[in-house]
Amino acid sequence: MRKVPLFLTVFCLCAAAQTAENPLSTGVKGLYSMAKNNLIKAAEKMPEENYSFKPTPDVRSFGQLVGHVADAGYMFCAPVLGEQPPMKGIEKSKTSKADLVQALKDSFAYCDKAYDTMTDAKGTTMVKMFGERPLLNVLEFNVVHDYEHYGNMVTYLRMKGLVPPSSEGRK
């Protein structure tokens, strides 16, 4: 089966968002889904023995990156759901690949509720997070944060001779 190029996927997501009832929140949810899938695949792809890998001593290990993304998902999505983050400290408390991958998946399952219930109208509601910002902007911030750390993970994967999920199928 032939893979669809990333630009075509983004184009289709944007086109779908333009025809949706809630084009802004639908578009953000599409970008979130892409980031979520890439992050989970990257976490699953890295071998257990490389979860402690750090390119330099002053940066997070691969496992700490996975834990950090899981922690951040709870932090960003909780205010959208009108809750306090139900989990904290994953980055500092979990070290095994199995525990971290599960924590990441659990964090995304939690965030799925925030993205699934978001509408363009609800997205204008202001909330305190790094100052005052609309709820939809909090979810956008989460997507940007996810991609920032997916970029880190791509570097770690490549340093270990692995092809990142977003590049699989390319020649």
Using one digit for the tens of pLDDT, what is the confidence trace for 63-82?
999 999 999 999 999 999 99
Number of domains in the chain: 1
- Strands 132-134 and 126-128, how do they pair? antiparallel
Instruction: Tell me if 156 is assigned to some domain.
Output: yes
Instruction: Tell me if 46 is assigned to some domain.
Output: no
Instruction: Tell me if 104 is assigned to some domain.
Output: yes
> For the segment 93-112, what is each residue's pLDDT rounded down to a tens digit?
999 999 999 999 999 999 99
Across the range 126-151, mean pLDDT stands at 96
- Check which CATH number belongs to the domain holding 71 and give it: 1.20.120.450
Instruction: Tell me if 91 is assigned to some domain.
Output: yes
In single-letter form, the type of residue at position 167 comes to: S
Domain that holds residue 126: 57-162
Instruction: Tell me if 30 is assigned to some domain.
Output: no
pLDDT at 128 over 70: yes
What per-residue confidence (pLDDT) applies to 169?
Answer: 75
Q: Residue 122 in contact with residue 134, Cβ under 8 Å?
A: no
Across the range 43-64, mean pLDDT stands at 97
Alpha carbon distance, N-terminus to C-terminus of the chain? 15
Going by pLDDT thresholds of 50, 70 and 90, the confidence category of residue 1 is very low
> For the segment 108-126, what is each residue's pLDDT rounded down to a tens digit?
999 999 999 999 999 999 9
What per-residue confidence (pLDDT) applies to 170?
Answer: 58
Q: What is the dihedral of CA 86, 46, 112, 143, to 10 degrees?
A: 100
Half-sphere exposure of 146 (CA within 13 A, CB side): 30
> What is this structure's pTM?
0.87
